[in-house]
Structure 1
Amino acid sequence: MNAPANQKVTASHLQRDAYLYIRQSTIRQVFENSESTKRQYDLRQRAIALGWQPESVIVIDSDLGQSGASAVDREGFQRLVTEVGLGRAGIVLGLEVSRLARNSTDWHRLLEICALTDTLILDEDGLYDPSHFNDRLLLGLKGTMSEAELHVLRSRLRGGIENKARRGELRIPLPIGLVYDHTGRAVLDPDQQVQNAIGKFFKTFEEIGSASGTVKLFRREGWKFPRKLRKGPGKGEMVWGELEHSRALQLLHNPRYSGAFVFGRTRHLKRQPQDQWHTFLPDAHDGYITWEQFQRNLRRLDENSQANGADRCKRPAGEGPALLQGLAICGVCGKRMTIRYHTRQTRLVPQYVCQRDGIARGEPLCQSIPGQSIDEAISQLLLKKVTPLAMEVTLAVQHELQARQNEADALRKQQVERASYEAELARSRFMKVDPNNRLVADSLEAEWNDKLRALTESQNLYTLHREQDSAVVNDSVRSEILEMATNFPRLWNDPCVTDQDRKRIIRLVVEDVTLSVGETITTQIRFKGGMTETLQLPRPLRAWQLRQTDPKVIDAIDQLLDDLTDGQVANRLNLEGMRTGEGLEFTGNLVARIRRAYAIRPRYDRLRARGLLTQTELARELGVARVTVRTWRNHGLLKAHPYNDKNECLYDRPGEDRPIKQMGVKLKDRSQDLDVVSERTEKVQHEA
């Protein structure tokens, strides 16, 4: 049999402190169930009666208002376990086991530590020594019953909640834009600005198809979006600010906006598939979108997220010029092809690459196909296919532009109305305050000024965007749209149409495009509905081939070198509008480089082949100095032909009708200036 309580308490126990642990599950219980709290504090007298001094009884009550289901957030319980483990506790007091723990793991861990440190446990029923088998067995049973009691309580509460949820009567927090009316039914927020903002959000996502794109459009247009404060002094109040991407995803994933009542959509903070929801009641209340539209939005989000997954077939249209982004399939392995861009003459040129195995396993690229010619062929094919539907599409575009303008104008106008209301409310507060109470009056006056500034900014923004919108859709724009209805190629090639818009148009009619390269590029287009078409395209020229000089330019250089130097040839080519393979103007150096690359005879060799002499050869034949030859050339006595841009020349051989003596006689018959030149020439010759 167990020893009496007074025999379990020894001197070693009394030398250590007594720890009284007090806990209530909720703050409400602390205030309403005060008798239970009082009974727990009264256990202090039991410790004193067993022999502990009053100053040795330590009360731990920091866990008031904390559940005993876990020890994670219970600072007081963790402190208690620490003191017991350090051997500072002689006894642990609690009104009942459920006060210490309602979790078997926490409870048995405390029993193990108490047994190791020889610490007693006392509750309202008696005193226990965990190192004794019978006491420990009894404490273990009490802990199991306490945990079972918690399970029963939870089951009762959960059953009531689930039963109410099955009827759709459970009041759970509603997302922004939905409120409960006086009957407890979920209805649309009566605030028209809130309704319009949320309605505009879903409509914009329907048009763009991307949550990120929707957020960017809201920020670019200056549209505000509502949210409720979840904490702080203004908890529950509605504020307006910029739309965030996380907020956009929350709206798109929440089925309440479709008018459906759902319960059990998440378990342990993880979203469950629809077939595992506890309750699903479609059309339970009014919504901003239909259930079909909600499902369609989720599918588009899943398709967008595949851009980061294994298959990029449905990623949103990007801003690059590659028309087949996400649509190109490798004709060799059947996998999706990615895109690389190269810059050629300040222009981005796409290249479709099958590189998945190369990235995953380091293998060579499966295929790499230049995409410029493919995109051009797809564009021409699309113009042929889409032209019959151009009128209907254009009229729909015109109607959509007008609808967007009206919705945006109404949204901004409501922002001005709200700012005006808040400014008037601030003015009313300021007018009601006692002017002598400057501490309050100054604060309210500053608030009024802030609201007036916000009102002015809203009005200016509204005016600015209204002018811009009127410039976007006016009579001239409408006439241009109607004119494009019969000329879809003009619309497609319009510089104002972005690459992103062209990709969206292609995705409306094209399912995918399979590419394979051989002697030609085989392009198999699969349209929506199953129709296919195959194109055989020539392989594009390589980069070095694209930079080759036109053969006509080479022939022109060959002909012009008979009469002109490299620099003169370059000037003549530029005057005739000819350019290099890279689109540059010609220079003397470029002509020389082309001449050497294509083995064109230089002008020097051409002149030598005609029998022309160098300056040295002619001076030797005439029996004069080289400088004399240059002087006679400068005075027109010798005919020279320049062979480069440095004015270096070759000379015609003197004929029999122009002997050396006759040249000397002619020189003597010149004017005085020419005599002076001759004297200088002789002097230079003598010095030489």
Structure 2
Amino acid sequence: MNDTSSKVTVAHLRRDAYLYVRQSTLYQVVNNTESARRQYDLRSKATELGWDHGNVIVIDVDQGHSGASAADREGFQRLVADVSLGKAGIVLGLECSRLARNNADWHKLLQICALNNTLICDEDGLYDPCDFNDRLLLGLKGTMSEAELHFLHARMQGGLLAKARRGQLPVRLPIGLVYDPAGDVVLDPDTGVRDALTHLFDEFTRTGSARAVVKAFAAQQLTFPARHLTGPRAGQLYWKPLGHDHVLDTLHNPRYAGAYCYGRKRHLSAPNGTVRTIVKPREEWTVLLPDAHPGYITFAQFDANQATLAANAATHGDDRKAGPAREGPALLQGLVVCGKCGKRMTVRYHKRCNGTLVPDYACQREGIATGTPVCQNVCGAGVDTAVAELILDRLTPLALEVALTVTDEITAQAEHADRIRAAHVQRAQHTADLARRRYLAVDPTNRLVADHLEADYNTALRELATAKDDYDTAKTNAERLLDNAHRDRIRALAADFPALWNDPATPMRERKRLIRLLVTDVTLVKTGQHITVSVRLSGGQHHTMTLPRPRTAWELHTTTDDTMKLADQLLDEHPYHTTAALLNERGRRTGWDKPFTATRLRALCHARNIPSHHQRLRDNGWLTTDETAEKFGVTITTIKHWNSKGLLTSRRTDGRGTLLFDPAQTRPTKPVGALRNNDSDSTPPTATTIK
């Protein structure tokens, strides 16, 4: 290994020597100057081995970078590339940890050096990766280098964890919390910062939605505080518009509830060097110390906020719950359940011609997933009205007291059942502890007895695990019970509920929040011409209603049959404009509640195949002006002149003066001039004009 003369060949000397220089942190670069000097002095060793001073290439661009990964080390990547291209005859480093502290990167470099016949030199000696013994020794050095990094990290991390478990490890605080001169955590002395955070928590308590908090801040033109984390203005306070992510970060942070926490997040490194951060469940946090310092809310309020956020997030899942009340006109948003498949129904809206938004409750999740038709789609206008009337008519203060009484009984039963399950768990725990003591007390050499007691101990442990699982499952599946605060809210609401509900100033969001205090869910089943509505109240009562199917738009805007029958009768004697006027005189309206006109009446008759007055006369043989002129062998002007003098029987068929003539009449016998002399016998007795 130390026989350098046999390892350095002319082929190596024809290529350049590469010296790699690196220190892990900028602090080391600035303060540990002796280490840097030792690394640069390796150029003289390359000269001693036969390389010219000008052929020694120094790569020191990775100063301040850790050797744990090669992803962000430009100098190491250049070194590997030049070795791969056969440009390097030797690679020099103070020790293998300077080149890499990661076994994967280190062995990759060894493999490339072996393929390209490149030597490796450190402060201890010269190595040829093509030689098995040298490569084995280099591999051991790389393993020890990575292990050394692990030990250093574990030693430092152990000290941090010990301090964190006492709640004494200083960590970066969120906005609104600061360290005082004594190192204790206190509320920010800036009143504006405290007021902004207090307002955020109050808005979330009022609305129950992080998105609603953002809208409230935007509507009130409020900004939210933040501090610069890096740069020349690090630590300085600034204000910015509140974002949805800022609200979620604030609500999820237990420091605002006065709790010290450490290890909430896990950092995962990808092969390309990028780091991904995930939030761990609370039971996996390293440290959680409630009431460790002052906060803006209590820890109980923090837990309630987490439950609300979890329920809101669950609205997008298959087993979603009601979710937060929103601004749309759908009163039962989030409460409607499909009576056919049991899934939650989503809300869609359609707009009527007058601009009114009407909700529709659709069970479409399965249809979207499988490409099949939706389960059912129900217009929500009538359902919302019926449920609102049910609440207003039947939920009197006495009914509410009865509901609370039933709820108390259900609560007592649930608590009793819970005590029974808890006692079962305690018994299983006692049995497991007894079996453990017996197993530990037996002589290990007496295998016949030890094996039997070990089997008993394992059985007791399985029974204990089963009891705990059953208890947790039953507790999770138990229905939500009304607490004292919820009961007080229902009693206070009973007296003022109708007035509050009908107040035009009450926002739709507040109506939804009111309805959710009393209604657990509403199940809809649409069958033929009826809709069955099953309302389940918070107290446990059930109400079932049968509603007629809402009429469609064309049904709502269809002119009545008796009106069209009357129009059909009038058209026997009158044209469209006269018939429309007569219908208006008798108070008849179109399906859109508009007065009749000739155009509207013509369209309705055309749609229902009702013939016009003109068509009826033509069907009876009445003649047009041209046909009458041809019949009498005169001009059209003569026909019009005769008609104006009353010599022909005619009828006007529209408002434009179109005439039809009686086919049974004969040519006038008196000349037109005789009419001017007022001769009473000049007009045939049957000649009349009907207008």
Q: Say whether the fold is shared (TM-score over 0.5).
A: yes
Which residue of the partner structure matches residue 579 of structure 1?
A: 589
Distance in 1 between residues matched to 2:633 and 2:125, nearest whole Å: 142
| Equivalent residue letter for 1:113 | I
Which residue of the partner structure matches residue 198 of structure 1?
A: 197
Which residue of the partner structure matches residue 558 of structure 2?
A: 548
Higher mean Cα deviation, 318-327 or 354-363?
Answer: 318-327
Higher mean Cα deviation, 176-185 or 371-380?
Answer: 371-380
The DSSP-based 3-state class of the residue aligned with 2:70 is coil
Which residue of the partner structure matches residue 240 of structure 1?
A: 239
Select the residue among 366, 369, 376 that pairs with 1:360.
Answer: 369
**CA 1:85/1:616 → structure 2, altered by over 3 Å: closer, same or farther?**
closer
Which residue of the partner structure matches residue 63 of structure 1?
A: 62
Distance in 2 between residues matched to 1:39 and 1:620, nearest whole Å: 127
Distance in 2 between residues matched to 1:616 and 1:227, nearest whole Å: 90
| Equivalent residue letter for 1:525 | V
The DSSP-based 3-state class of the residue aligned with 2:362 is strand
Verify: 1:225 aligned to 2:238, yes or no: no
Ranges in structure 1 where 5+ consecutive residues have no aligned partner: 390-483, 676-688
The DSSP-based 3-state class of the residue aligned with 1:170 is coil
Q: CA deviation at 1:218?
A: 1.0
Which residue of the partner structure matches residue 92 of structure 2?
A: 93
Which residue of the partner structure matches residue 431 of structure 2?
A: none
The DSSP-based 3-state class of the residue aligned with 2:545 is strand
CA contact (8 A) 1:387 1:488 kept: no
Q: CA deviation at 1:619?
A: 9.2
Distance in 2 between residues matched to 1:7 and 1:653, nearest whole Å: 134
CA contact (8 A) 2:2 2:125 kept: no
CA contact (8 A) 1:166 1:279 kept: yes
The DSSP-based 3-state class of the residue aligned with 1:92 is strand
Distance in 1 between residues matched to 2:59 and 2:622, nearest whole Å: 118
Distance in 2 between residues matched to 1:380 and 1:32, nearest whole Å: 79
Verify: 1:316 aligned to 2:324, yes or no: yes
The DSSP-based 3-state class of the residue aligned with 2:173 is coil
Distance in 1 between residues matched to 2:618 and 2:35, nearest whole Å: 123
Verify: 1:295 aligned to 2:291, yes or no: no
**CA offsets 1:136-159 (integer angstroms, 9 cap, x no match):** 111111111111111111111011
Which residue of the partner structure matches residue 441 of structure 1?
A: none
Query: Pairwise mapping of residues 381-420 of structure 1 onto structure 2 (< 5 A)?
Result: 381-385=390-394
CA contact (8 A) 1:66 1:74 kept: yes
Which residue of the partner structure matches residue 112 of structure 2?
A: 113
The DSSP-based 3-state class of the residue aligned with 1:55 is helix
Distance in 1 between residues matched to 2:303 and 2:115, nearest whole Å: 60
CA contact (8 A) 1:211 1:249 kept: yes
Higher mean Cα deviation, 329-338 or 311-320?
Answer: 311-320
Verify: 1:373 aligned to 2:374, yes or no: no
**CA 1:629/1:58 → structure 2, altered by over 3 Å: closer, same or farther?**
closer
**CA 1:614/1:489 → structure 2, altered by over 3 Å: closer, same or farther?**
farther
Query: Pairwise mapping of residues 570-609 of structure 1 onto structure 2 (< 5 A)?
Result: 570-574=580-584, 578-597=588-607, 602-603=612-613
| Equivalent residue letter for 2:115 | L
Query: Pairwise mapping of residues 673-688 of structure 1 onto structure 2 (< 5 A)?
Result: none
**CA offsets 1:170-207 (integer angstroms, 9 cap, x no match):** 10000000001112111100001100011101111121
Paired residues, number: 574
Verify: 1:506 aligned to 2:505, yes or no: no
Query: Pairwise mapping of residues 641-652 of structure 1 onto structure 2 (< 5 A)?
Result: 641-649=651-659
Distance in 1 between residues matched to 2:552 and 2:4, nearest whole Å: 98
Q: CA deviation at 1:559?
A: 5.2
Which residue of the partner structure matches residue 11 of structure 1?
A: 10
CA contact (8 A) 2:106 2:142 kept: yes
Q: CA deviation at 1:28?
A: 1.1
CA contact (8 A) 2:24 2:64 kept: yes
| Equivalent residue letter for 1:568 | T
Q: CA deviation at 1:575?
A: 5.6
| TM-score under structure 2 length normalisation | 0.75
Which residue of the partner structure matches residue 312 of structure 2?
A: 304
CA contact (8 A) 2:395 2:494 kept: no
Which residue of the partner structure matches residue 406 of structure 1?
A: none
Distance in 2 between residues matched to 1:611 and 1:95, nearest whole Å: 120
Q: CA deviation at 1:114?
A: 1.4
Query: Pairwise mapping of residues 270-349 of structure 1 onto structure 2 (< 5 A)?
Result: 270-346=278-354, 347-349=356-358
The DSSP-based 3-state class of the residue aligned with 1:159 is helix
Distance in 2 between residues matched to 1:10 and 1:613, nearest whole Å: 124
The DSSP-based 3-state class of the residue aligned with 2:201 is helix
Select the residue among 512, 515, 520 that pairs with 2:524.
Answer: 515
**CA 1:149/1:560 → structure 2, altered by over 3 Å: closer, same or farther?**
same
**CA offsets 1:296-345 (integer angstroms, 9 cap, x no match):** 22222222223433344334334433222222211111112223333332
Which residue of the partner structure matches residue 485 of structure 2?
A: none
Select the residue among 559, 579, 586 that pairs with 1:569.
Answer: 579
Q: CA deviation at 1:365?
A: 2.4
Distance in 1 between residues matched to 2:606 and 2:71, nearest whole Å: 83
| TM-score under structure 1 length normalisation | 0.76
**CA 1:14/1:218 → structure 2, altered by over 3 Å: closer, same or farther?**
same
**CA 1:92/1:649 → structure 2, altered by over 3 Å: closer, same or farther?**
closer
Q: CA deviation at 1:653?
A: 11
| Equivalent residue letter for 1:250 | D
Higher mean Cα deviation, 314-323 or 19-28?
Answer: 314-323
**CA offsets 1:546-605 (integer angstroms, 9 cap, x no match):** 232123422442454466421122234446654321334422132234345556575458
The DSSP-based 3-state class of the residue aligned with 1:145 is helix
Q: CA deviation at 1:508?
A: 2.9
CA contact (8 A) 2:176 2:197 kept: yes
**CA 1:94/1:555 → structure 2, altered by over 3 Å: closer, same or farther?**
same
Distance in 2 between residues matched to 1:37 and 1:12, nearest whole Å: 30
| Equivalent residue letter for 2:280 | Q
Distance in 2 between residues matched to 1:228 and 1:3, nearest whole Å: 58
CA contact (8 A) 1:622 1:660 kept: no
Higher mean Cα deviation, 221-230 or 618-627?
Answer: 618-627
Distance in 2 between residues matched to 1:505 and 1:614, nearest whole Å: 71
The DSSP-based 3-state class of the residue aligned with 2:559 is coil
Q: CA deviation at 1:271?
A: 0.6
Distance in 2 between residues matched to 1:83 and 1:654, nearest whole Å: 115
Which residue of the partner structure matches residue 479 of structure 2?
A: none
| Equivalent residue letter for 2:7 | K
Which residue of the partner structure matches residue 207 of structure 2?
A: 208
The DSSP-based 3-state class of the residue aligned with 2:41 is helix
Percent of residue pairs bearing the same amino acid type = 52
- C-alpha RMSD of the superposition: 3.4
Q: CA deviation at 1:622?
A: 11
**CA 1:555/1:359 → structure 2, altered by over 3 Å: closer, same or farther?**
same
Distance in 1 between residues matched to 2:302 and 2:368, nearest whole Å: 37
**CA 1:497/1:586 → structure 2, altered by over 3 Å: closer, same or farther?**
farther
| Equivalent residue letter for 1:351 | D
Which residue of the partner structure matches residue 539 of structure 2?
A: 529
| Equivalent residue letter for 2:591 | G
Distance in 1 between residues matched to 2:498 and 2:581, nearest whole Å: 40
| Equivalent residue letter for 1:219 | A
The DSSP-based 3-state class of the residue aligned with 1:534 is strand
Distance in 2 between residues matched to 1:185 and 1:370, nearest whole Å: 59
Distance in 1 between residues matched to 2:631 and 2:675, nearest whole Å: 19
Distance in 2 between residues matched to 1:276 and 1:227, nearest whole Å: 29
| Equivalent residue letter for 2:541 | M
**CA 1:527/1:485 → structure 2, altered by over 3 Å: closer, same or farther?**
closer
Query: Pairwise mapping of residues 428-507 of structure 1 onto structure 2 (< 5 A)?
Result: 492-493=501-502, 496-507=505-516
The DSSP-based 3-state class of the residue aligned with 2:307 is helix
Distance in 2 between residues matched to 1:58 and 1:602, nearest whole Å: 104
**CA offsets 1:503-528 (integer angstroms, 9 cap, x no match):** 33323322211111124211111122
| Equivalent residue letter for 1:74 | R
Distance in 1 between residues matched to 2:139 and 2:622, nearest whole Å: 122
Which residue of the partner structure matches residue 127 of structure 1?
A: 126
Higher mean Cα deviation, 115-124 or 592-601?
Answer: 592-601
Ranges in structure 2 where 5+ consecutive residues have no aligned partner: 268-276, 399-492, 683-691
